[in-house]
Amino acid sequence: MITVTVPATSANVGAGFDSLGLALSMHNVFTFEECDRIRISSVDGTRVPTGANNLVYRSARAVYDQLGIPLRGLRITQRNAIPMARGLGSSSACIVAGILGANALLGDKLTSRQMLTLATAIEGHPDNVAPAMLGGFVTSVYDEGQVYSVKKMIDEQLAFAAFVPDFRLLTSKARAALPAMVSHKDAVYNLSRAALATAAFCDGDYSLLSVATKDALHQKYRLPLIDGGEEMEELAQDLGALAVYISGAGPTIMAVVHRDDEEFFARAKESLPQSEKLKHFTVHRLLPDNVGATVK
Ligand code: HSE
């Protein structure tokens, strides 16, 4: 039996739309066994599709198809810690697990680069699947069907506060809210900040993050879809976050903090239930995952 563990991810990191992403200490665990039919189950009570449309299975099948190997079925179990449709990479975790699991069952025929390219083709953009697979802080470009990524370790002195609301927001809906065209000014606004955010993470200059994670391409269009999102960002800023941004397509609001800033979490936990506008958010204290997906 193959066991694949995949971290949660937080994509975009503000300005790096469809490019930047980082891996965090919350994990889904999947097992894979060869089987003559499809047998998929959730071991934690989460409802998951149990047929050929299951994303883990579809991603595994893509590996069989790429290698030209017929697939009759698989026995897959899923343990889901990453909340679904919250901007924390639950879909990417399924895709990465399916690909790594199938590749291990088939004797490791694909390279990491081939698997990352396949995962990106299924997901449509690399910013979640790359850190899910590689761990750390990953910068990616998807160019003519090829993924180009650089992974850097995330400073272990950082922690991440994921403010997760009690409702889902489908990425498709959050992407539909974006304009088809943007101005040259907004493009420059973002590319300069995405570059600065990457340099700031690499250099450990976190004083730059509040400016570097500002964005003009997606967050202002998505905040209206997130009930309490604006107030949540304000609270996280007031509590002293180094940076606050919408995680992936939302609706989770992510704050970057110093790992030893325990007061941030204590005050956040105290404040959320007291606020009518924020009581549907739960805060999770997450740490960097610099390892990425593992296969055993
Ligand atoms: N970059 C993607 C988006 C992440 O913001 O739509 C969600 O998959």
If you measure from the C-alpha of residue 170 to the centroid of ligand 1, how many angstroms do you get, rounded to a whole number? 10
Question: Which residues, 6 or more positions from 192, have their beta carbon under 8 angstroms from its beta carbon?
Answer: none
pLDDT at residue number 215: 97
Question: Which residues, 6 or more positions from 271, have their beta carbon under 8 angstroms from its beta carbon?
Answer: 235, 239, 278
Q: List the residue whose alpha carbon is closest to atom 6 of ligand 1.
A: 249
Tokens (6 digits) for 133: 């697979």
- Helix or strand (DSSP H, E) at 58: helix 55-67
pLDDT at residue number 183: 98
Residues 151-174: what's their mean pLDDT? 97
Query: Buried (b) or exposed (e) across 216-255, using 16+ Cβ within 10 A?
Result: bbbbeebbebbbbbebbbebbeebebbbbbbbbbbbbbbb
Its pTM stands at 0.96
pLDDT at residue number 119: 98
- Helix or strand (DSSP H, E) at 161: strand 158-165
pLDDT at residue number 65: 98
If you measure from the C-alpha of residue 188 to the centroid of ligand 1, how many angstroms do you get, rounded to a whole number? 19
Measured CA to CA, the distance from residue 215 to residue 77 in angstroms comes to 38
Is the C-beta atom of 215 inside 6 A of ligand 1? Answer: no
Tens of pLDDT along 184-218? 999 999 999 999 999 999 999 999 999 999 999 99
With 0-12 CB in 10 A as exposed, 13-18 as middle and 19+ as buried, what is 186?
A: middle
Please state, rounded to an integer, the average pLDDT across all residues of the chain.
97
Tokens (6 digits) for 157: 């002195």
Confidence class of residue 54 from pLDDT cuts 50, 70 and 90? very high
Measured CA to CA, the distance from residue 267 to residue 119 in angstroms comes to 39
Q: List the residue whose alpha carbon is closest to atom 5 of ligand 1.
A: 249
pLDDT at residue number 290: 98
pLDDT at residue number 39: 98
| Cβ atoms 250, 14 nearer than 8 A | no
Is the C-beta atom of 18 inside 6 A of ligand 1? Answer: yes
Residues 248-274: what's their mean pLDDT? 97
If you measure from the C-alpha of residue 268 to the centroid of ligand 1, how many angstroms do you get, rounded to a whole number? 26
Tens of pLDDT along 72-97? 999 999 999 999 999 999 999 999 99
Is the C-beta atom of 10 inside 6 A of ligand 1? Answer: no
Angle at CA of residue 291, ends 11 and 23, nearest 5°: 15
Test site for ligand 1: of 22, 91, 92, 125, most ligand atoms within 8 A of the Cβ: 125
Residues 99-105: what's their mean pLDDT? 98
pLDDT at residue number 258: 98
